[in-house]
């Protein structure tokens, strides 16, 4: 049975209007339907649009999106202004050294709390639809895999890029999983994996058309493109949307401030080139900084904190009275998902003096 009832009615002018589940959808009255955060790649806290080069191992790039890569050459990645109509940005991958095919997929891990309306592990489990814009010089077949990490189950579909260097809109629907739940926690619920290259170890099986126990050989079966086979290769993606139901609706363009706050639940940094402006703690003795740093939003979990001085040197703070850099290797942090209260470390601080520092706080899935 379809998850969405789609009908046509006549509007006041006599034209046909599509209704979904009994109401007429518009971009404004279907807010919150996209489970993907930053699907238009506007927010780039880590790199501010600059290229990340020499990528050969797994890392987060533009906010909320992670690249898993190994044994597959090297790549550069950056926020790009090349985008289809209605979008300002995309994620660009460029091959800088050939290799593979091996492991290379890109995607997002969605928090379990945000997926409970899908009703997985019940007879009412909802179909989901993933839509996105894609462009590459490489034509051929690609794989999109959806994984339930907590239960080690997958479902996948192939799609093709038909025309080189041309934006194409893709829409893929996946049946709901009636036999396996999504955790109602801050852990990973579902993960989208856009395969860009896959060796025989990931393609020798059969791509699961229904929810199936994970098997490495099945994960990218059907993938024919190896994005790492030429340094001329590029891949762009934007407009990534995951929503309940079998009908793809227009991309949900959230306000910039909303999107930034959603991203800051998982990653936040406070970085300036000079003081004042960075966070400041008051030394209590020679090895404790008493702080009062509030994160702009509650983070998903207690984050991993990296402290730097104004030049970006890790494990350093700056005396705000004389601008002298002092080494400070943290050993314990009194913090919550809301902010930082104090930091204990190995240092030679002067009691009662203020010390400034920049930091990154990471609570990614």
Q: Please give the pLDDT value at position 21.
A: 53
pLDDT digits (tens, 9 = 90+) for 191-244: 999 999 999 999 999 999 999 999 999 999 999 999 999 999 999 999 999 999
**In this model, does residue 13 exceed pLDDT 50?**
no
**In this model, does residue 276 exceed pLDDT 70?**
no
What is the Cα Rg of the chain in Å?
Answer: 23
Confidence of residue 23 (pLDDT cuts 50, 70, 90): low
In the chain, where are the structural domains located? 1-30, 35-263, 265-362
Place of tokens 């629907």: 173
**CATH number, span 35-263:** 2.60.120.260
Confidence of residue 9 (pLDDT cuts 50, 70, 90): very low
Q: Three-class SS of residue 125? A: coil
Contact 278, 358 (CB under 8 A): yes
**pTM of the prediction?**
0.92
Strand partners, 319: 355
Give the residue, 26 or 266, on which the prediction is more confident: 266
Work out the average pLDDT over 293-309: 95
Confidence of residue 360 (pLDDT cuts 50, 70, 90): very high
Confidence of residue 17 (pLDDT cuts 50, 70, 90): low
For residue 180, count CB atoms less than 10 angstroms from its CB and return exposed for 0-12, middle for 13-18, buried for 19 or more. Answer: middle
Q: Three-class SS of residue 218? A: helix
Distances (CA, A) of 168 to 139, 144, 156: 11, 15, 19
pLDDT digits (tens, 9 = 90+) for 64-92: 999 999 999 999 999 999 999 999 999 99
Q: Do domains 35-263 and 265-362 have the same CATH topology?
A: no
Q: Please give the pLDDT value at position 28.
A: 45
DSSP state letter for 231: T
Contact 244, 33 (CB under 8 A): yes
For residue 265, count CB atoms less than 10 angstroms from its CB and return exposed for 0-12, middle for 13-18, buried for 19 or more. Answer: buried
**In this model, does residue 12 exceed pLDDT 50?**
no
Closest CA to 92 of 133, 131, 58, 130: 133
In angstroms, the CA 143 to CA 105 distance is 9
In angstroms, the CA 3 to CA 174 distance is 11
Q: Which fold has domain 265-362?
A: Immunoglobulin-like (2.60.40)
Q: Please give the pLDDT value at position 347.
A: 84
**In this model, does residue 59 exceed pLDDT 70?**
yes
Q: Which sign does the torsion angle of CA 217, 219, 224, 226 carry?
A: negative
pLDDT digits (tens, 9 = 90+) for 94-136: 999 999 899 999 999 999 999 999 999 999 999 999 999 999 9
**In this model, does residue 1 exceed pLDDT 50?**
no
In angstroms, the CA 144 to CA 190 distance is 13
Q: Please give the pLDDT value at position 110.
A: 98
- The separation between the first and the last C-alpha atoms of the chain, rounded to the nearest angstrom, is 33
Q: Please give the pLDDT value at position 156.
A: 98
Q: Please give the pLDDT value at position 10.
A: 40
Q: Which residues contact 318 (CB under 8 A, 6 or more apart)?
A: 275, 278, 309, 310, 324, 325, 326, 355, 356, 357
Give backbone dihedrals phi and psi of 44, rounded to 5 degrees, phi first: -140, 75
Q: Please give the pLDDT value at position 310.
A: 86
Closest CA to 88 of 322, 251, 232: 251
Least confident residue range of 8-17, 159-168, 186-195, 263-272: 8-17
Q: Please give the pLDDT value at position 272.
A: 72
Q: For the chain, what is the mean pLDDT?
A: 92
**In this model, does residue 19 exceed pLDDT 90?**
no
Q: Please give the pLDDT value at position 335.
A: 87
């Amino acid at each position: 049975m379809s998850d969405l009832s789609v009908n046509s009615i006549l509007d006041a002018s006599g034209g046909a209007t599509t209704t979904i589940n009994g109401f007429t959808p518009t971009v404004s009255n279907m807010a919150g339907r996209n489970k993907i955060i930053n699907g238009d790649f506007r927010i780039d806290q880590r790199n501010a649009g600059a290229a990340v080069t020499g990528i050969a191992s797994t890392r987060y790039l533009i906010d909320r999106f992670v690249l898993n890569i190994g044994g597959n050459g090297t790549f550069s990645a950056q926020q790009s202004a090349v985008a289809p109509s209605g979008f300002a940005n995309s994620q660009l991958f460029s091959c800088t050294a050939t290799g593979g095919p091996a492991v290379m997929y890109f995607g997002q891990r969605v928090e379990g709390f945000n997926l409970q309306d899908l009703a997985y592990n019940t007879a009412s489990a909802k179909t989901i639809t993933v839509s996105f814009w894609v462009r590459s010089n490489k034509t051929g077949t690609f794989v999109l895999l959806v994984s339930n990490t907590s239960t080690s189950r997958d479902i996948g579909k192939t799609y093709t890029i038909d025309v080189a260097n041309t934006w194409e809109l893709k829409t893929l629907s996946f049946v709901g999983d009636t036999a396996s739940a999504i955790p109602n926690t801050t852990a990973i619920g579902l993960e989208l994996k856009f395969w860009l290259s896959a060796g025989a170890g990931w393609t020798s099986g059969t791509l699961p058309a229904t929810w199936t126990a994970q098997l490495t050989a099945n994960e990218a079966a059907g993938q024919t493109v190896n994005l790492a086979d030429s340094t001329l290769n590029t891949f762009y993606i934007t407009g990534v949307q995951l929503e309940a139901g079998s009908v793809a609706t227009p991309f949900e363009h959230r306000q910039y401030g909303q999107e930034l706050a959603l991203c800051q639940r998982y990653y936040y940094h406070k970085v300036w080139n000079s003081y004042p402006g960075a966070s400041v703690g008051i030394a209590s003795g020679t090895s404790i900084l008493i702080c009062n740093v509030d994160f702009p939003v509650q983070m998903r979990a207690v984050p991993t904190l990296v402290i730097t001085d104004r030049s970006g040197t890790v494990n350093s703070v700056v005396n705000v009275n004389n601008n002298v850099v002092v080494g400070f290797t943290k050993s314990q942090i009194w913090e919550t998902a809301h902010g930082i209260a104090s930091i204990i470390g190995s240092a030679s601080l002067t009691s009662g003096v203020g010390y400034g520092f920049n930091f990154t706080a990471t609570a990614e899935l």
